[in-house]
């Protein structure tokens, strides 16, 4: 019950949030428990593509547990018991699996994520010696190693980021770098203040940069396409040559050609197994010993020591320059600051160049070793090819060689049978010889005993009688067994003949099966081509019918336009009217804009005049000049503006 409570508590937490009680968990049916286990495994390893059948689901769960490194032996379970328990929804087994899965969800998710990229691919036996497949597998191994190194770097960076002291140091370094970059940017802006058309220059430089990057991308894509074309052409050439060989084999009525080809393949594989593989293993062992020696010994490279000495000298010069700059700081001008920044850049670039040169030297050494190794492998392969070319027989010589091999194999089997018979007879003779030696050992002992003791003569006589009886028994048994041995020899000869006949019939059957398979594959290819041609013709028919319908609709539209007048002419007439109206409106607008300034100035002058007249009229009395007042009021209302 405590285990169930622990499992329920973990199922109620993130990322499941099932809100389940222990009683509900205990009352679940076997199918519900199986679904619960599937949901937990789906959270850890999301299924990519899965059928809805129960068998595929069980297989996926077993494969997932194997990938997560679940050891059922530690829990006292066998593989069959675990599979049956998951299939039937056994509560005890599912509780054991859940108790192992739930406490380590995060670690298992990480393991599942890494297993997607680090799991090895099973190579079929018929593709092991394929060159293209071996290249792809080598590329896959290189990418897997690259993923491992990248993941290690990521984990180390995550650990470094967790340390607050290192984070603060990085922040301070970034702040200083930002200030330095800001000073550089301000200085660059100050230098470029007097440059004419700076924005256009920057824009053209950006366009040039984008065009160069695009050009490099296009060049790389062209190279990749050329490589793909070369690979496909080579593959096509190999397939075409293979097709020609197979057609020649089919046309040949004699069935010895496939046997000859198989013999050549066997010779080549035997040569590789006896010469190439030991040489490769020896070369790899030598390489391993050299690497172990390099790892065990200290690095005493003269080039690296010289680079380190140069780096120390550059650092000393940098310290001297910093001291000198500290003493002359009060008298420095903008030019001195520029020189200091240039010196800092030079020293920084010097350290970078030193590091790069060291890396480049190591890489050059590795590439030279790899080149020498590849050259030796190439020479060995050329030598092997020349040996194979010299030893391979062709034509009548090969047929004669095959006939001699067949005769030798038959003779070898007969001689092997005779040797087996002789071995059996030799064993029987050895047993008889041992019995006789025992008899010869017993007889002198009996004679000495009879000389000493006369009472033992009767015992010796009885023993002699027993030995004679045993010898007679052995001879009788041999006489009885001789016809059976002869029958066994005849049966062995018949069995050998039947085996040879069965092998010949089996070879004929395999040849006929391969011939029928080729015919069936040829018929299937022709059927696929004819069905494809039928589908293409059907698609073309649909396209042609659609084009005919479109042409009929356009023809009807043209006829309607001819009957009812041209629509385009009407539209052109309306467009011309609207353009004329637009031109008249624009002309009026231009006139208004031209007279706007003059009318505004006249209006301002009129307002000033009215203000002046009103000021003068206020000085006079209304009784003496009533008419003037009336004119002033009219002017204020705007009647005199016209």
- In this prediction, residue 237 has a pLDDT band, given cuts at 50, 70 and 90, of confident
Q: Mapping DSSP to helix (H, G, I), strand (E, B) and coil, where does residue 622 land?
A: coil
Out of 149-158, 215-224, 367-376, 455-464, the most confident range is 215-224
Other C-beta atoms lying within 10 Å of the C-beta of residue 286: 11
Of 311-325, 327-341, 512-526, 536-550, which has the strongest mean pLDDT? 536-550
Q: Are 184 and 341 in contact (CB under 8 A)?
A: yes
Q: Report whether 394 contacts 264 (CB < 8 A).
A: no
Q: Under a CB-based contact definition with an 8 Å cutoff, are residues 72 and 99 in contact?
A: no
pLDDT value for 638: 47
pLDDT at 274: 80
pLDDT for 599 equals 78
CB-based contacts of 70, cutoff 8 Å, min separation 6: 97, 100
Choose the weakest-confidence range: 130-134, 335-339, 512-516: 335-339
Alpha carbon distance 252, 246 (integer Å)? 10
Higher local confidence (pLDDT), 206 or 427: 206
pTM: 0.29
| Averaged confidence pLDDT in the chain | 74
Instruction: Return the pLDDT at 269.
Output: 77
Q: What is the DSSP letter of 53?
A: S
HSE toward the beta carbon, residue 401, CA cutoff 13 A: 12
What are the chain's domains? 2-119 (1.10.418.70), 398-562 (no CATH), 574-641 (no CATH)
- On the CB side of 462, CA atoms within 13 Å amount to 5
- In this prediction, residue 309 carries a pLDDT of 65
pLDDT band for position 582 (50/70/90)? Answer: confident
Band (234; pLDDT cuts 50, 70, 90):
confident
Q: What is the pLDDT of residues 27-56, one digit of tens each?
A: 888 888 888 888 888 888 877 666 667 788
pLDDT band of residue 380 (cuts 50, 70, 90) is: confident
Specify which of 42-51, 322-331, 469-478, 533-542 reaches the highest per-range mean pLDDT.
533-542
Taking alpha carbons only, the member of 445, 449, 465 closest to residue 457 is: 449
> Measured in Å, how far apart are the chain's first and last C-alpha atoms?
109
Cα 211 to chain center, whole Å? 31
Could you tell me which residues come within 8 angstroms of residue 481 by beta carbon, excluding any fewer than 6 positions away? none
How high is the pLDDT of residue 634?
A: 45
Among residues 318, 313, 340, the alpha carbon closest in space to that of 328 is found at 340
The pLDDT tens digits of the residues spanning 107-130 come to 888 888 888 777 777 777 666 667
How does DSSP assign 470-528, residue by residue? HHHHHHHHHHHHHHHHHHHHHHHHHHHHHHHHHHHHHHHHHHHHHHHHHHHHHHHHHHH
> pLDDT (tens digit, 9 = 90+) per residue, 454-483?
555 666 676 667 777 767 777 777 677 677
- Please report the pLDDT score of residue 639 as a whole number: 43
% residues pLDDT > 70 (the chain): 68
Buried b (16+ CB within 10 A) or exposed e, 108-146: bbebbeeeeeeeeeeeeeeeeeeeeeeeebeeeeeeeee
Q: What is the pLDDT of residue 330?
A: 45
């Amino acid at each position: 019950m405590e285990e169930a409570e622990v499992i329920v508590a973990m199922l109620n937490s993130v990322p499941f949030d099932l809100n389940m009680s222990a009683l509900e968990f205990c009352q679940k049916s076997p199918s519900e428990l199986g679904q619960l286990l599937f949901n937990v495994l789906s959270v850890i390893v999301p299924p990519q593509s899965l059928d809805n059948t129960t068998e595929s689901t069980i297989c996926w769960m077993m494969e997932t547990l194997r990938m997560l490194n679940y050891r059922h032996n530690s829990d006292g379970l066998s593989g069959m018991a675990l599979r049956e328990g998951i299939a039937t929804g056994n509560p005890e087994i599912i509780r054991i699996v859940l108790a192992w899965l739930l406490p380590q969800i995060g670690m298992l998710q990480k393991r599942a994520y890494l297993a997607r990229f680090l799991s090895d691919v099973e190579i079929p036996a018929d593709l092991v010696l394929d060159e293209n497949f071996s290249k792809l597998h080598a590329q896959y191994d290189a990418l897997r190693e690259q993923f491992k190194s990248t993941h290690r770097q990521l984990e180390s960076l995550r650990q470094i980021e967790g340390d607050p002291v290192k984070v603060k140091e990085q922040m301070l370094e970034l702040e200083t770098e930002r200030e330095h970059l800001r000073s550089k940017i301000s200085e660059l802006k100050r230098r470029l203040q007097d440059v004419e058309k700076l924005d256009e220059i920057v824009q053209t430089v950006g366009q040039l940069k984008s065009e160069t990057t695009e050009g490099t991308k296009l060049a790389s894509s062209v190279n990749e396409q050329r490589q793909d074309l070369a690979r496909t052409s080579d593959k096509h050439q190999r397939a075409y040559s293979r097709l020609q060989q197979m057609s020649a084999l089919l046309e040949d009525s004699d069935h010895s050609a496939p046997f000859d080809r198989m013999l050549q393949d066997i010779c080549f594989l035997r040569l590789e197994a006896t010469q190439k593989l030991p040489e490769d293993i020896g070369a790899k062992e030598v390489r391993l010993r050299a690497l172990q020696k390099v790892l065990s010994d200290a690095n005493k490279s003269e080039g690296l020591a010289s680079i380190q000495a140069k780096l120390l000298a550059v650092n000393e010069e940098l310290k001297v320059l910093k001291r000198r700059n500290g003493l002359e700081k009060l008298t420095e001008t903008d030019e001195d600051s520029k020189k200091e920044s240039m010196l800092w850049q030079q020293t920084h670039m010097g350290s970078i160049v030193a590091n790069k040169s060291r890396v480049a030297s190591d890489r050059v050494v590795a590439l030279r070793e790899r080149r020498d190794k590849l050259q030796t492998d190439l020479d060995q392969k050329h030598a092997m090819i020349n040996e194979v070319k010299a030893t391979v027989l062709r034509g009548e010589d090969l047929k004669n060689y095959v006939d001699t091999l067949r005769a030798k194999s038959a003779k070898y089997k007969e001689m092997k049978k005779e040797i087996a018979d002789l071995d059996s007879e030799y064993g029987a003779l050895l047993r008889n010889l041992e019995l006789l030696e025992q008899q010869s050992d017993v007889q002198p002992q009996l004679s000495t005993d009879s000389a000493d003791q006369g009472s033992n003569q009767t015992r010796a006589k009885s023993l002699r009688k027993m030995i004679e009886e045993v010898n007679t028994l052995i001879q009788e048994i041999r006489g009885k067994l001789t016809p059976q041995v002869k029958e066994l020899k005849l049966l062995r000869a018949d069995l050998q003949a039947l085996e040879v006949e069965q092998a010949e019939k089996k070879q004929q059957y395999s040849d006929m099966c391969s011939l029928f398979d080729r015919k069936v594959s040829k018929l299937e290819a022709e059927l696929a081509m004819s069905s494809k041609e039928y589908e293409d013709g059907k698609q073309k028919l649909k396209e042609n019918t659609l084009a005919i319908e479109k042409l009929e609709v356009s023809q009807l539209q043209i006829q309607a336009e001819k009957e009812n007048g041209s629509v385009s002419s009407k539209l052109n007439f309306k467009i011309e009217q609207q353009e004329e109206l637009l031109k008249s409106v624009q002309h009026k607008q231009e006139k208004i804009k031209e007279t706007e300034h003059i009318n505004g100035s006249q209006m301002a002058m009129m307002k000033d005049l009215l203000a002046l007249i009103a000021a003068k009229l206020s000085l006079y009395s209304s009784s003496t000049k009533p008419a003037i007042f009336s004119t002033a009021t009219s002017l204020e209302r705007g009647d005199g503006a016209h």
